Amino acid sequence: MAVLTARSGDLEIAYEVLGEPDGEPLLLVMGLGAQMVGWPDGFCAELVARGFRVVRFDNRDVGLSTHLDGPVPARAWSRVPVAYTLSDMAADAVAVLDAVGWPSAHVVGASLGGMIAQLLAVEHPGRVRSLTSIMSRPAPRIGRMRARTTLALVRRARRLAKERGRPTTPEAMADFLLAMQEVTGSPGHPASREDHLEVLRVAMARDDQGLSGPGAKRQQAAERVARDLRAELAAVRVPTLVVHGDGDVVIRPEGGEATAAAVPGARLVVHPGMGHELPRALWPVIADDVRATADLAAARRA
Going from N- to C-terminal start, the domains of the chain cover: 4-144+210-301
pLDDT tens sequence for the chain (302 residues): 789 999 999 999 999 999 999 999 999 999 999 999 999 999 999 999 999 999 999 999 999 999 998 777 655 555 668 999 999 999 999 999 999 999 999 999 999 999 999 999 999 999 999 999 999 999 999 999 999 999 999 998 899 888 888 888 888 888 888 888 888 889 999 888 888 888 888 888 887 776 678 999 999 999 999 999 999 999 999 999 999 999 999 999 999 999 999 999 999 999 999 999 999 999 999 999 999 999 999 998 88
Could you tell me which residues come within 8 angstroms of residue 162 by beta carbon, excluding any fewer than 6 positions away?
Answer: none
Q: Which of 124, 125, 120 is nearest to 109 (CA)?
A: 120
Which is it for strands 11-18 and 4-8: parallel, antiparallel or unpaired? antiparallel
**For 4-144+210-301, CATH number?**
3.40.50.1820
